[in-house]
Amino acid sequence: MFNLILFGPPGSGKGTQSEKLVEKYQLIHLSTGNLLREEISNRTPLGVEAKSFMDKGQLVPDEVVVGIIDSCLEHHKDAADFLFDGFPRTAAQADALDKLLNLKKTEISLVLALDVTEEELIKRLLNRGKTSGRSDDTNETVIHQRFAVYKNETAPIAEHYKKLRRFQTVKGEGTIDEIFNLICQAIDKRMKTLPSDLW
Ligand code: B4P
């Protein structure tokens, strides 16, 4: 089994690179951002609740997001390899993910963090906001709030994966293909060090 976390601040390219990675490595893509936006567009009660947090640049409460991931893992009971995109984002989510994977007798194989300067992130998000219809991308105050949440709540969980020697930083600036190649090199290297019956 191979379980990858794509880590990094808002706009670092997690979603963009995930699309290419799931195709190349046949991973099941679990993006909490996409799953939440799906709830919003279906106007479910969960979506209405999530929207009120996302529009302000805040994180959706842990129990909501962990519940979504739990049911997705349950839905893909027989699947082996997962790509977690935008999850975990808090220490409580990282802890919950360890427990959920433990129940499946597996664990995180690798965490890849996309490294992008704040200046470039702002440029990308405002640019995406022009076409995506995402209200959290059009307002620079909300974007700064998302960066603050990332620094305070998400970035610190890197330590958990560093202790396990599963954490690696990848340059997240350059063309999409250049970054994709760097990510693939890191994955291929890690796969070589895992016993073949584990992936
Ligand atoms: P997400 O959907 O995860 O989105 P993101 O972090 O803003 O963006 P991502 O890093 O995926 O960027 P992308 O590839 O699209 O989260 C949205 C919100 O949902 C959160 O703020 C939060 O409220 C909520 N949420 C999600 N998960 C949660 C959780 N676990 N717990 C609680 N709340 C949660 O790239 C951005 C733009 O850059 C795109 O337009 C792309 O085209 C462009 N781009 C990408 N790579 C590029 C490159 N190399 N060069 C130039 N442009 C590039």
- Give the global pTM: 0.94
Mean pLDDT of 85-102: 97
In angstroms, rounded to a whole number, what is the distance separating the alpha carbons of residues 171 and 157? 19
CA 150 to centroid of ligand 1, rounded, Å: 12
Which residues are CB-contacts of 121 (< 8 A; sequence separation ≥ 6)?
9, 10, 11, 12, 143, 147
pLDDT digits (tens, 9 = 90+) for 39-71: 999 999 999 999 999 999 999 999 999 999 999
Per-residue model confidence as pLDDT tens digits over 142-151: 999 999 999 9
- Selected catalytic residue, list 37, 51, 146, 166: 146
Residue 84 structure tokens: 């977690």
Q: Does residue 196 carry a pLDDT above 70?
A: no
Residue 199: predicted pLDDT: 47
What's the pLDDT band for 195 if we cut at 50, 70, 90? low
Active-site annotation holder among 20, 124, 134, 190: 134
What is the average pLDDT score of the chain?
94
By the 8 A CB rule, do 186 and 112 touch?
Answer: yes
